[in-house]
Amino acid sequence: MRLLSTALCTTAAVALLAGCSGNMTGTTPGTGSTGTQSQFSSHGKHIPHWSYPATVVPQGMAPIGMQSIRTRPEIKKKHSSTGGIYVSQFYAGLINGYPHKNTSNGPPTCSLTASYPNNIATDMVGNLIDPDGGSRSVIVYSGPGMCGSELGSFSDSYGQPSDAASSNASTGTIAVGNIFDNSDAPGSISVCTLAGGCTANLTNPNMYEVAGVAMDKSGNCWASAVTSGGTATLTYFAGCTGAGEAATGYLNSSYGGLDIDNNGNLVSISYSSSQVYVYSGCNPGCTVVGGPFTLQGEAVFGHLNRQSMTYCTGDFLNGEADVYYYSPTSLTYWYSFNNGMDASDDVEGCAYNPASKQ
């Protein structure tokens, strides 16, 4: 997850910077911030440069500061009629589509252009959801084919989107996680629909910087976040409404992506320790079902396949997608692929088409 801010002051396109200061003006995304960087226990690992607050991109303003990093060629979208795996790259402005099983490290079967995409998600019918950080909008592409036509989009009027979740993005509610809200306000979950846009914004004192969001088939929501002091929190919103409740029994050392398996368990990445926990309940009391499981590489986001038998993460350190065999009580590394990716482009999200049945 990357915040459009002073993070873009680097011209070397280094994906993981612990400190990059100075204001950005004119045509660059954002205007910087005087906020201090949140400090997490990184265990000797790089601290991603979105771990401090900054003013988000003004509404309706597309970022062009990326041109100072590299100029990317126009990518033509090629439609694929079958499901597969999507992988997003923040700096490349790309969402690539791959086959379900890419053990041969084959090239993308299709690509979509995006504007600083963070995590990506699919729903249970295979629609792709792009929380587009640069344009501050959420774009939905049709499924179940890969890289389908755009169904529509809406502006995120509350903040900068970093993650999203929905059972059916074309007709149902979409929960959108905002890293930070407008004017550097703490992050939130926006409650939106494709037809009506965002009509509610869920906040909680435990949510300062928000990373992951999940929503089950019953319409309940969770946010993975940190407090202003860097403590990892999980917040439960019954019916995706109200003030939210702090989950108890949550053992993550840091925030990270969320998903829900076919048994209704919450799969939660703890990015700073490169671990995955599996919880049941969390409404608000959590019970540990499995983990912590150690990841092969460093990742913030990950998603399950439809059968909840495999799990894919965006490995930002190694510039690849890592695939694991999954069950609620085990996570075993299987393979990685990186064709069409580059570590300097900051690999972020990995999502199966379609999503788990939840």
* pLDDT at residue 24 greater than cutoff 50: no
Would you say 159 and 202 are in contact if contact means Cβ atoms under 8 Å apart?
A: no
Q: Give the pLDDT score at 131.
A: 96
Q: Is the pLDDT of residue 240 over 90?
A: yes
b/e per residue, 205-231, with b = 16+ CB within 10 A?
Answer: ebbbbbbbbbbbeebbbbbbbbeeebb
List of domains in the chain: 75-353 (2.120.10.30)
121-122 sheet: strands from edge to edge: 121-122, 128-132, 137-141, 150-155
Q: For the chain, how are helix, strand and coil distributed in percent, rounded to 5?
A: 5, 40, 55
DSSP per residue over 313-343, as a string?
A: EEETTTTEEEEEEEETTEEEEEEEE-TT--G
pLDDT at res. 276: 98
CB atoms within 10 A of CB 22: 8
Q: In terms of pLDDT, which residue wins out, 29 or 269? A: 269
What does the pLDDT read at residue 181?
96
How far is the C-alpha of 332 from the C-alpha of 138, rounded, in Å?
A: 33
**Would the pLDDT of 25 be above 70?**
no
Distances (CA, A) of 105 to 34, 86, 109, 349: 43, 14, 12, 17
Comparing 337 with 6, the larger pLDDT belongs to 337
Structure tokens at 260: 């829900």
More confident residue, 301 or 68: 301
Query: Which pLDDT does position 28 carry in this prediction?
Result: 27
- Looking at the DSSP bridge assignments, the partners of residue 292 are none
Task: Note the pLDDT of residue 358.
Answer: 75
User: Which tens digits make up the pLDDT trace of 101-138?
Assistant: 999 999 999 999 999 999 999 999 999 999 999 999 99
Q: What is the mean pLDDT of residues 232-247?
A: 98
H or E segment and range at residue 190:
strand 188-193
Query: What's the pLDDT band for 18 if we cut at 50, 70, 90?
Result: very low
What pLDDT digit, counting tens, does each position of 213-232 carry? Answer: 999 999 999 999 999 999 99
Assess contact for 144 and 192: CB atoms under 8 A: no
- For residue 26, the model assigns a pLDDT of 29
pLDDT band at 353 (very low <50, low <70, confident <90, very high): very high
Q: How far apart are CA 7 and CA 262, in angstroms?
A: 37
Q: Decide if pLDDT at 27 tops 70.
A: no
Question: Could you read off the pLDDT of 264-292 as tens digits, one per residue?
Answer: 999 999 999 999 999 999 999 999 999 99
Q: What is the pLDDT of residue 2?
A: 61
Tell me the β-bridge partners of 225: 210, 233
- Say how far apart CA 39 and CA 228 lie, in whole Å: 10
pLDDT for residue 3: 61
The three-point CA angle 65-161-131 to 5° equals 85
Give the pLDDT score at 4: 58
DSSP 296: S
pLDDT at 357: 77
Q: Percent of the chain at pLDDT above 90? A: 76
pLDDT digits (tens, 9 = 90+) for 149-205: 999 999 999 999 999 999 999 999 999 999 999 999 999 999 999 999 999 999 999
What backbone torsions phi and psi does residue 11 show, to the nearest 5 degrees?
-105, 0
In this predicted structure, the answer to whether residue 241 has a pLDDT above a threshold of 50 is yes
CA distances 305 to 105, 262, 302, 325, Å, are 18, 10, 10, 10
- Distance CA(256)–CA(276), nearest Å, equals 9
Q: What tokens appear for 289 in the block?
A: 């079902």
Q: Does residue 80 surpass a pLDDT of 80?
A: no
In this predicted model, what pLDDT tens digit does every residue of 46-72 receive, in sequence order? 334 343 333 333 333 322 222 222 333
| The predicted structure's pLDDT at residue 66 | 28
As a whole-number percent, the residues of the chain with pLDDT over 70 amount to 77
HSE-CB for 227 with a 13 A CA cutoff? 8
DSSP-derived secondary structure letter, 55: P
- In degrees rounded to 5, what are phi and psi of residue 48? -55, 145
Beta bridge partners of 321: 314, 337
Spacing of C-alpha 91 from chain mean position: 14
What band does 82 get if pLDDT is binned at 50, 70 and 90? Answer: confident
Across the range 325-341, mean pLDDT stands at 98
pTM as predicted: 0.82
Extract the runs of DSSP E, i.e. beta strands, from 62-156.
84-89, 94-98, 110-113, 121-122, 128-132, 137-141, 150-155
Check residue 35 and give its pLDDT: 31
